[in-house]
Amino acid sequence: MIEPDKLADSTAAETGEAWAIPHFGTLRISGDDAASFLQGQLCNDVRKLDEAHAQLTGLSDAKGRLQAIAYALSPHPDTIDLILPKEIIEPVAAILGRYVLRARLQITDFSDSVELAAVSGPAVPVWLTANGLAQPAPGPMAVTAAADARLIRLPGLDNTFLLHQRPGAYPIAADSGEKWELQRIRAGDPTIFASSRGLFVAQMTNLDLLDGISFEKGCYTGQEVVARTQHLGKIKRRMFRFAVPGGHNPEPGTVLTNGGQKVGNVVRSAGAECLAVVRTDALAGEVRAKLPGTS
């Protein structure tokens, strides 16, 4: 059984440090038409990206089902980097490639040229000062630029940043990625992995509550479904944070049940905690996950 509302409110790092996020990478879209092209594909307003502002965004298919959730960053003019799990970079590049037509741009897996790290903990200001980095302005997704790096202020937790740097530019500690996943679970931050592609409409993962959708921009792939979902009023499935007794970490996409009926799916899990999209009318009961090797 997984249980909501029984979780400690704490950051993933007790001291300020930077640690690797080895399972995330960078998909770079560059060229004269990069911004206008992505404006027709992503659910957030790409025109608001600049040197000082990143954003959370999603890529949907024509049925409005999420194929990716990414942090979008513009490190240079006519260049937009999508930061997302490495395991979906190839299929996301293929999806985008189908829409390029005569657009003047390149789509490149840039993961080997960019190192990603989380910087977190109450001593972060000390770490930043020691490494000559300035904090971004207040507010989620604000960005500070340095010669070899960009620092993004992440939402949901205090003193938490994403470092996007030339490999080796600043010292970072090795990590399996577990620390990052647990931190982003506690921040209520959704993502899409290979096993959860196509399971959710954007609002189910709370993208609308996290400033990850623009309802004022023009058309984009899946926009009709996203807009219709919003205008219907009440969203029947939402993402919530749960405890997972027994030390299990259910895989993304794992089916959740209540009374034998499917009520949702896992979004991400780590450290016996998870984010899951669940029917709101099922929260009063027992929510269970079928785990490999269990009855």
Which band of pLDDT confidence, cut at 50, 70 and 90, is reported for residue 95? very high
Distance from C-alpha of 146 to C-alpha of 203, rounded to nearest angstrom: 34
Parallel, antiparallel, or unpaired: how do β-strands 288-289 and 255-258 relate?
Answer: antiparallel
The per-residue pLDDT for range 173-227, each reduced to its tens digit, is 999 999 999 999 999 999 999 999 999 999 999 999 999 999 999 899 999 999 9
In a domain, 243, yes or no: no
In a domain, 141, yes or no: yes
- With a cut of 90, say whether residue 284 has pLDDT above it: no
Cα–Cα distances (Å) from 144 to 74, 138, 194, 275, in that order, read 12, 11, 31, 29
CATH number of the domain to which 163 belongs? 3.30.1360.120
In a domain, 97, yes or no: yes
Prediction pTM value? 0.92
In a domain, 231, yes or no: no
In a domain, 201, yes or no: no
Higher pLDDT, 60 or 16: 60
Question: Domain containing 128: what range?
Answer: 17-181
In a domain, 37, yes or no: yes
Write out the E strands in 61-105: 66-76, 79-85
Instruction: Tally the domains of the chain.
Output: 1
Q: Per the structure block, which two tokens stand in for 210?
A: 């996290």
Q: Which pLDDT score, from 0 to 100, does residue 289 have?
A: 64
